[in-house]
Amino acid sequence: KNEVEQSPQNLTAQEGEFITINCSYSVGISALHWLQQHPGGGIVSLFMLSSGKKKHGRLIATINIQEKHSSLHITASHPRDSAVYICAVLQGAQKLVFGQGTRLTINP
């Protein structure tokens, strides 16, 4: 069992739908990252959080430290949101442990 588990692994939705991607982890962490990876490989950091909730545009990330769970939400989804979304937990100062990613496809 991976230390970081994401669900679902694949998600297909229609444009405009509300999207939720979940991440559970089983290790102690100092922070949690949500990353976006587009075809071709480049990775962009969306959020880094250690408690509570953060919002950026149509993206919202929450974390529950006691439950060891985080969610990434996308409101009013758009085809350009299609990508792989990766949850990664930070152990200590520098070591990132990654989930397997969620492949999101938004159809017009």
Partner 1 sequence: ETGVTQTPRHLVMGMTNKKSLKCEQHLGHNAMYWYKQSAKKPLELMFVYNFKEQTENNSVPSRFSPECPNSSHLFLHLHTLQPEDSALYLCASSQEGVPAQFFGPGTRLTVL
For partner 1, the binding residues (CB under 8 A) are 2, 4, 30-31, 33, 35, 40-45, 48, 86, 88, 90, 93-101
Instruction: Write down the least CB distance from residue 73 to partner 1, Å.
Output: 21
Cβ distance to partner 1 smaller for residue 86 or 104: 86
Instruction: Write down the least CB distance from residue 98 to partner 1, Å.
Output: 4
Residue 14, classed as helix, strand or coil, is: strand
Taking the C-alpha atoms of residue 32 and residue 49, their distance in angstroms, rounded to an integer, is 5
Residue 94, classed as helix, strand or coil, is: coil
Residues 6+ apart with CB under 8 A from 25: 3, 4, 5, 32, 68, 69, 70, 87, 89, 97
Cβ distance to partner 1 smaller for residue 68 or 98: 98
Instruction: Write down the least CB distance from residue 31 to partner 1, Å.
Output: 5
Cβ distance to partner 1 smaller for residue 63 or 77: 63
**Could you tell me the two tokens for 102?**
């969620």
